[in-house]
Chains A and B, each alone.
Chain A
């Protein structure tokens, strides 16, 4: 196959990848989009194998390894519960990162097959591209592992902070840049290994100070990194499909990070610098502890909802933890039988990754046209009778609008307090991830339902029937 024809095929698969993302603009076209992505991938892999034209035993091994990895991936994809999507995606990012590192290493060790020169005398441009790809890939790899461990709960979600942390990171980053410079001058392979080692370390250090509540930003950011790493390798291999994909993924992750930061009203840098969102942080709670709280049981909640004409559900991470989405759907079905209008309100940063709540509700067979984003539904709270807050906390805290001293001041919130009455399912009065007390608990029209989210929704369903 001629190099030109090959390039055209890579271009086609690049375009198919663009169409794959384009399909996600609505749920109807999304499944077709995913198919485009698969076709693009098959083309890219197929033409690469054909272009090498080496049908020796090497190809057999290649197919075997492809099958091993593929069946492992398929197994994971079918087994994973939807509540575990954030850590799955983090885990997958780490694999892309490591694959980028491995490809860069083999290109460095065997530059002839990639047309990059000979070992010890690799083209300068290629050296820069492959070391950038390897370095970003390495950061993505270890960073995603840390994110995975935090999301999985193996590692505490609390930020890990030590003295001069940011200077250490800055120093490491500059060292990597300096090493790439010297690598180009000397072509010493020890420098290449050192770049990768320092990048591994940098990935760990970048993510450990970031708290659990900021994970939506982190996971989007690592998504973006994995794209830039792929693009770096794409330049090295002079491969259009990889360059296009890298750019797409890189900008996609960057946009998601931006949306998440905006959802929390925090600057990207303050998230990256970290230290926020630990559970041991306490702000000015002091006198508030003694304020009276109205608490109720499932029967009270059922009574309130039965007499309502419209109910808005506000799900949050707690719903995911309690796996309460199916129980919630059952409760809503009962409400609907009583001719009560029900809709769902989703805050941009609800959950641990962008769109996390939407997937869980979709899993529980909630039609997606009953689920609304913050801007779409926020005005409806004033008209609604009952807001049912399940597993969300900080995203409903009116303090974000009233108290300039509060760490979440300025964050867009769901105006739950404007509802005639608020039902708040929560295990205790403890503050949310931002470590601040929620004024909503003490409002006249709030009824606290202290229980596990799943158990409470089940009990309410029973009481409704």
Chain B
């Protein structure tokens, strides 16, 4: 017998267990620091930041995948990955613990020839070409883990297939006066993208990229390899890959998405997105039974509102104890609002305690913080939100200046050890 006649049996013992072909694989970029969130992201990546009373920002992208029927995805982590790794773990809360596929956390790794950090969004995918190849996908969906939105990616993949596109970019129509903050797509009458501008001074379009891409895998793969060979490239999708694909004359389409979508990159936008949940007219409906947003649930009893509690226009989750006043605010699991305390227009993250008679207004207070008694938060407005970092301790009778940004260390330096 000669070697060309040797045939494998139909059922091959797999080296990596249970890898099967998948039409679509998603890659979720979750390595960003989100430095504009300051103390909130000192110890965790931006996608892990708590949102909306019981979620984390990444829950939206993970739940979207699960609800869209995309059951195979890689989550690319780099900056402060501990919190995200343990949060995602097996993927069970999102129904992503699958025998074939499921969720994989993909940190940077060493290989025989080299080993390096992800140098950019494109490089992160480039370094995981082998991961994607195992599933022999037709399409790869690139997502970012720091947006709040509900989107059926399968509809976008259908659109991509119908148009026979090499790349489809989800776009959202933004007000012209804000357009200059985004990467903008200039399209022809058939939704085909003919030009692309990154944060231009004089926008020619108001179709902003949402950072959600569907690629034909063979196209993406070849452009990633070419881009990696270019020493001058900054290895970024927006700056390098998409312009290169456009320049090569490939077919790129814009997929218009008109649902709620928010980039929560700044403290004010994070606060605003939280407050959107309290608005009667918000487009972000979390009560949709067909599109649950899943999260890893804490094991806690229902929240308790004491005899003297006064709660209005707020969201409160399990494990909270409310003795004081809560107005137009969002309380995460295990928050305690002591007697006489008043919390208004604020977001209080898990296990934080607000002491007696303290007045909190226009703030985001991170997890495990302790605000003493009679603490006063001065002023504040939707464009001037104060932030207290995780585990910060604010002593009794302290005064927090309008728009203050205090990490645990800042608080200790400012007020001394408590």
A and B associate in one complex = no
